[in-house]
Structure 1
Amino acid sequence: MKILITGGAGFIGSAVVRQAIAAGHGVVNLDALTYAACLENVASVADSPLYHFEQADIRDPAALARIFAAHRPDAVMHLAAESHVDRSIDGPGAFIETNITGTYILLEAARAYWLAEGRPESFRFHHISTDEVFGSLPADPDVQFTEDTAYDPRSPYSASKAASDHLVRAWHETYGLPVVLSNCSNNYGPYHFPEKLVPVIVLNALAGKPLPIYGNGANVRDWLYVEDHADALLTVLTKGALGRSYNIGGENERSNLELVRTLCAILDELRPGPRPYAELITHVTDRPGHDARYAIDPSRIREELGWRPSVTVEEGLRRTVQWYLDNEPWWRALQDRAGVGERLGVSA
């Protein structure tokens, strides 16, 4: 299978690129190379005959038409998106343009290609989204997001992703475009751009800087190791039912404070400092509209497709910390990019 992967130089997209090539699929990596992209993320597969890179913007219809015609993919995996909630608070326009308008233009390009190819039944358009479209959950552990949970986005980021989900479903129902969708919980792991919680904590700790936690740190997330997520996405692409959506979770709920304390304990063991890293924890003003809890019920993907996560959060965090310790040149090169190391999302 030849897969066109949008956003393949990003954190999750590059994990999908690496796993797809390892599985023997051809990959066309389409990426605009915006601030969070890094071609080093796919350097391990860049010389493979199965890999092709196209620098292009999903908002450029002519570029998309050329790429579809040149590479004739069997499937599209759409991961290109603006994804940092704090940046969406400060600058929502980029999220509207990329996540909504970009998805619309990509859908139209895919539909035109699919029609020109004679509507092949094997073609798939896989739209990758987030559990944040469902809003916020109460503390009750028996309450989780399912694929039937009503949408209730609360940030410009999640609202833009909710809109893109609706567009994909509409293109399936109205035009018959063969689509599958997935909504995932919080990812972490190697190559995570250093503006999200896990890499911020690891890199601040190594630098002896304060470890910022929004509010009281009680906000709960379900943590999904990125390589598990990539495996799940390829499973949805190849086995998922048309028009169906699948929630992908790590089955690893932790509060932000619990997660940070776990990271500190791992760092104490792997890279001991002059004092316990947990002493650097600093509570800062909460994010505007900060959702209290996300948790995914993964029953559908487990029962229909036979997939479940393989990595516990403790093991995944240990692998992640070790990866950052072993790959300092990678993250050092990204620390000068706009916004990295700054507190964002306070303009509300």
Structure 2
Amino acid sequence: MTEEVGAHIFVCTNKSEPECLQRRLFGTSKLYADDALMTRSGDLLFLLNISSDVLHGIFQARSDGRKDIAPEAWKGKYPYQVEVGPLGNVQTIENAKKTLQKLGIEWHKPLTEPMTQQLLGLFAPKGSGLIKRTAESTPWGLLAPEKTLARQGRMNAIKATNMLDQEKPTLEATTLWDYPRQSYGKIPKGNNKYPGVTPAFIIWNLLQRYTDPNDLVLDPMCGSGTTIDVCNEEGRRVICYDIAPTRPDILQNDSRTIPLPDDHVDMIFVDSPYGDNIKYNDNPNCIGKISSETEDFYVELERVIKECHRVLKPGKVIAWLIGDQWVKKKFTPVG
């Protein structure tokens, strides 16, 4: 019985495409590392040039996906790589983005069996000899080594070391981030009963984009500790403060004077009050007791951002979550 192979779309530009084809190597950045590392020898691959809007195929993985097969390729910009070879003559599909959209395929997400069937139909019409069907095989069993694992089985094997990974959020690929609930996984992140609790999905996405394992993250307004819980699970070091700590691993401190040296942390996440519309605690110095309709509110937030900038390493990122205020039918543009 022929088992299924996985299928993946890698992306290039006019600038990076020649190196992809000359080296017979596809690569991607840390942002899409998971899909690259999930690739196994024998998988089907397609190459989407987002500059020319052309999809090239069909290729086959000649190696498992791993980091730095050729560290010098693309000047190190795309270190998560897989060696490839063409399956027959490479064909191209123009207006690729619109074609993929019509098929319901998003290039930055894993290909399902139906999606793969549709792509194979574009590149390898029935009767071409590329698609091999047997009574026992699935409709898209194609040139697969007998011992190649099914895609889903491989995903489970990769994630078996951390069962919580099955419930981790998807890396957001647009500017609209929308989440079904405050936390994810089997272990809660923060306390969803805390007033103004931070969505754990946001912190997870920020860590994937802007930090590496063992980086030091700072949250100067930690609230119920969501940042701590996400960082611990993702292998990041973390320092968290709050003017009114809710748990022992949050240090008591006012965010307007952060007790850290200059250029010290790798990323800062701030989820500040939007005004005085929520009661966070009874501390009279809490910024959340100042109305966002007054100048004082913005003066105090400026003190916070200056301290954050001071302790952040050069070239690193501050992510600030803030929103506008709507109280008693009055709109205040805070963010």
TM-score (norm 1): 0.25
When Rg is computed on C-alpha atoms for both structures, the one with the higher figure is 2
Structure with greater strand share of residues: 2
- Point out which structure has higher relative CO (alpha carbons under 8 A, 6+ apart): 1
TM-score (norm 2): 0.26
Structure with greater helix share of residues: 1
